[in-house]
Structures are given as C-alpha cells and as structure tokens.
C-alpha cells in the first residue's frame, strides 16, 4: 500500500511540475530592446529547467526552439525574498536548440525580430521546399528575474542577441 501511495504521489507531483503557458516575447539586438509582443499562436511547455516554445495548437515535440538550463533549482523562500528586494536576477548557463537549414543559419534569420512571423521557415514540418533541416544547439546565458514563487520572466543571451519572454495567464 505504501508503494502504491508513493507511486500515486510521484505521478501527481510530476504532472504538477509540467506546465503550458502563453508568453509575451521581445528581442534585444544592436543595443535595442524591441517591444513586447503577444503571439496568440505560441506557447511555452515544459519544466523550469527544460522547456520548449511551440505552436499553441500542436504538441511540444514540434518546437520552434527548446531551452535547457543547467543546475536550475527553486531557491528557498528567504533567498527569493532577498533577491526580490535587491532586484538581483538569477543567472545560469545552458543552451538553446532550434531548427536551421542552408538558408536560415542563425536565430534571427529563422525568426526575425518579430514573433508575428512564426513559425520559423526552417522547422521540418513546415517546409515545402524539401531542403533538410537540422537542430542547432547554441550555448546561452539564461537570466531569470527575481520572483516570489515561480519564475515568470526569462532573458536568454546567445549568438549576440537577447531574447526575453514573460509567462502570463490568458486575459492578463
């Protein structure tokens, strides 16, 4: 009975840790932050340490890009409170993965500075020209804004650009 209860708790905990959320996005390029944009067809799914951004009406395996954060953990309440008070961002290393092809070789050529052009032309399930696509894996610095309970604002720095997103609830 104990084993069954532990198994049920483990399954419930696993499901509660996974999330799918709407996001606002912004790109930093040439010392300029472009305005926040809401894309009604893009969501973020996954866990705090690994998540993907994908078409809202498709599963997360068809991702536009995927982020992995090394050594992520939710700090204790005291640390979170102190960081909120001092506005000190958390900083991690990790990487970002996205689809490229022979015409779209970096993040900006795939996505541009506006998420209104999604999906990327390089994702294999969106291609009409038959050119092969591969996943590019770029090292990244991931900064997370101070938070009370859970991370909401992420800044990803890679390939000479910044990419920010803010997790929000529908109707926010």
Question: What pLDDT sits at residue 124?
Answer: 61
Q: How many CB atoms lie within 10 A of CB 27?
A: 20
**Can you read off the two tokens belonging to residue 156?**
């990803």
Question: What pLDDT sits at residue 14?
Answer: 36
Q: How far apart are the first and last CA of the chain?
A: 43
Its sign, for the CA torsion 22, 107, 150, 36, is negative
Cα gap 129→121, rounded to integer Å: 10
Question: What pLDDT sits at residue 113?
Answer: 55
Q: Average pLDDT across each block of 10 residues of the chain; the chain has 172 residues. List them in order.
A: 44 46 86 84 85 78 87 93 97 92 79 53 58 86 94 93 82 44
**Residues 155 and 143 sit within 8 Å (Cβ to Cβ):** yes
Cα gap 94→71, rounded to integer Å: 9
Residue with tokens 């969106």: 126
Q: Which residues face 63 on adjacent strands?
A: 54
Question: What pLDDT sits at residue 120?
Answer: 54
Where are the domains positioned within the chain? Answer: 18-168
Q: Which residues face 141 on adjacent strands?
A: 93, 157
Cα gap 170→172, rounded to integer Å: 5
165 φ, ψ (degrees, to nearest 5): -145, 150
């Amino acid at each position: 009975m104990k084993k069954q209860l532990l198994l049920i708790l483990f399954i419930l905990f696993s499901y509660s840790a996974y999330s799918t959320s709407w996001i606002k996005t912004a790109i930093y390029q040439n010392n300029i932050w472009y305005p926040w944009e809401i894309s009604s067809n893009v969501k973020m799914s996954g866990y705090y340490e690994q998540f993907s951004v994908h078409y809202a009406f498709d599963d997360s395996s068809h991702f536009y890009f995927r982020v992995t954060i090394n050594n992520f953990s939710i700090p204790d309440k005291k640390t979170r409170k102190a960081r909120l008070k001092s506005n000190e961002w958390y900083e991690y290393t990790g990487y970002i993965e996205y689809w490229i092809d022979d015409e779209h070789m970096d993040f900006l050529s795939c996505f541009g500075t506006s998420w209104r052009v999604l999906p990327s032309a390089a994702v294999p399930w969106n291609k009409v020209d038959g050119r092969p696509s591969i996943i590019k894996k770029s090292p990244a610095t991931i900064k997370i804004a101070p938070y009370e309970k859970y991370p909401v604002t992420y800044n990803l720095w890679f390939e000479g650009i910044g990419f920010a997103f803010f997790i929000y609830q529908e109707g926010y």
